[in-house]
Each structure stands twice: as C-alpha cells, then as structure tokens.
C-alpha cells in the first residue's frame, strides 16, 4: 500500500502535525545571530563615535560634530548600498545593520535603486520612501505628541 505525503499530512491531527513540523525544522542559530548582530552593530557605532571624535578634533562643537557624524554615516550606508556591499553585511549581521542610522540610509537607497528602471519620478522618487516613509511619519507624529505633552505639563 502506497501513501503519498499529502494524504499522510491530511490525516494528522493538529498536535501530530505540529510535532512533525517541529521535528523537521532547522535548528535556530539564535545565539550566533544575536552575537553577530551585536558585534556588527557595535562596530558601526564605534565607527560613528570615531567619526564624531574626528569632527570634534577639527573644531566642531559636540552638537555640530554629532550632526556631521550622523550625515557621514548616512552617506557611508547609502554608498555601501549602492555598491551592493551593505546587503552582504546585512545578510551576515541581520538586525545589527538595521538599527544604526546606516540602516535608515539603506532603507531609502535600496528601493530607489530597485525601481530606477521605472523612471526618476514614478520609480526612484516614488519608491524611495516606501520602507523609511512610515518610520518618518510615526517618528514625527510621536515627537509632536511628546512635545504637546511636555507643553501641557510645563516641561
């Protein structure tokens, strides 16, 4: 008697299917993935701190040096995305490349490059904020609400 795999799965209960599915899942590499994300994200932050110190050593005050360092990291993230290197780093490090400001640059440049064949207006410009747009909208909304709360409470 020959049973196909589909018939076998159809005759399983939910618990049996869950056990079968769990036994055939690849093992999670959570600890290794977290370690890689932590190290690469930390390295990006260390590079940002080094850039900040260079700008401060060149005579910029801390606020201006911070802004210049952020802009430099955005530029580096955009450049690495354009060269196709950021995706390789992200595949290795996962969330460690998404959280720093370089991840914001990647989220703008990657869709712009992907849709450039559709033209400058309906492709690049329209799709550039497809990923980062909601982050910007909710970030601005949260800061307005926070500002109103501070204003009302006298902060």
Question: Is residue 52 included in any domain, yes or no?
Answer: yes
Question: Is residue 42 included in any domain, yes or no?
Answer: yes
For range 75-87, the mean pLDDT:
95
Instruction: Tell the residue number behind the tokens 């450039």, with chain if given.
Output: 116
Question: Is residue 155 included in any domain, yes or no?
Answer: no
Residue 63's domain spans which residues?
Answer: 33-114
> Which pTM does this prediction carry?
0.69
Higher pLDDT, 23 or 155: 23
Please state, in angstroms and as integers, the Cα–Cα distance from residue 2 to each residue in 10, 12, 17, 64, following that order.
Answer: 15, 17, 20, 73
Question: Is residue 28 included in any domain, yes or no?
Answer: no
Question: Is residue 46 included in any domain, yes or no?
Answer: yes
For range 28-47, the mean pLDDT:
93
Question: Is residue 133 included in any domain, yes or no?
Answer: no
pLDDT score at 1: 46
pLDDT score at 42: 96
Residue 148: pLDDT band with limits 50, 70, 90: very high
Task: Please count the structural domains in the chain.
Answer: 1
Residue 9: pLDDT band with limits 50, 70, 90: low
Question: Is residue 109 included in any domain, yes or no?
Answer: yes
Residue 25: pLDDT band with limits 50, 70, 90: confident
Per residue, the 3-state secondary structure of the chain, as one string, reads: CCCCHHHHHHCCCHHHHHHHHHHCCCCCCHHHHHHHHHHHHHHHHHHHHHHHHHHHHCCCCHHHHHHHHHHHHHHHHHHHHHCCHHHHHHHHHCHHHHCCHHHHHHHHHHHHHHCHHHCHHHHHHHHCCCCHHHHHHHHHHHHHHHHHHHHHHCC
Question: Is residue 70 included in any domain, yes or no?
Answer: yes
């Amino acid at each position: 008697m020959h049973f196909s795999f589909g018939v076998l799965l159809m005759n399983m209960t939910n618990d049996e299917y869950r056990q079968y599915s769990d036994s055939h899942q690849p093992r999670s590499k959570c600890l290794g993935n977290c370690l890689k994300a932590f190290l690469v994200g930390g390295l990006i932050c260390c590079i940002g701190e080094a850039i900040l110190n260079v700008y401060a050593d060149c005579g910029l005050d801390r606020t201006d040096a911070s802004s210049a360092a952020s802009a430099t990291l955005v530029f580096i993230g955009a450049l690495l995305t354009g060269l196709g290197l950021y995706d390789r780093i992200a595949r290795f490090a996962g969330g460690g490349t998404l959280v720093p400001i370089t991840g914001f640059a990647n989220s703008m440049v990657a869709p712009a490059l992907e849709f450039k064949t559709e033209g400058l207006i309906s492709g690049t410009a329209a799709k550039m904020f497809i990923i980062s747009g909601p982050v910007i909208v909710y970030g601005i909304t949260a800061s307005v609400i926070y500002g109103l709360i501070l204003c009302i409470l006298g902060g």
